[in-house]
Amino acid sequence: MQKDIIVIIGGPGTGKSSIINGLVAKGYCCYPEISREVTLEAQKRGIEQLFLTEPLLFSQMLLDGRIKQFENAQSEPHQHVFIDRGIPDVVAYLDYIGDDYPDHFVDACREKVYTKTFILPPWEEIYESDSERYENFEQAKEIQEHLTKTYTNYGYNLIEVPKDTIDNRILFILDKI
């Protein structure tokens, strides 16, 4: 049986976590976004926005976590495993802020390849800022462009999920796998 490791991407506030939560509720194996965990851990240590103060350290922590998620997904007994954001997201964000990064970031993007990639478009009506999401909607759209470019450069065929209810977006995704 071919295992599908499916990544759901999109700029901040596009509904990724809501879709992942909906898939979990339907019994699918899903891995959550880990950047909030990294951000909250840094905040406990007194660093309000680790991505802004030490972007390479933050990105290395994300890369390590996302590689672990990918490897764990390969061991799951489920045929389909959904992941909220993938390894190339790390590179896309570093490109967005204009930071350089070591070659092992690129190597990870090339070596750990997802079966399918669904992208959620920017959607101003559902966009919300919070204590871990510092970007405004215009910045979210720029990040979306970097995500699209990065994943496309790594050879991914991006499947755009239409703006709709969470249930209909989930049905769209399930229909395409």
Q: Give the Å distances, CA to CA, from 90 to 3, 63, 76, 86, 106.
A: 24, 6, 24, 8, 10
Q: Identify the pLDDT of residue 165.
A: 95
Average pLDDT, consecutive stretches of 10 residues, N- to C-terminus, the chain (177 residues) = 90 90 97 85 77 82 94 96 97 93 97 97 72 67 95 98 96 97
In order of start, what are the domains of the chain with their CATH numbers? 4-176 (3.40.50.300)
The percent helix, strand, coil of the chain (3-state, each to 5) is: 55, 15, 30
Tokens in use for 57?
């350290």
pTM: 0.90
Q: Identify the pLDDT of residue 128.
A: 66
DSSP 8-39: EEESTTSSHHHHHHHHHHTT-EEE---HHHHH
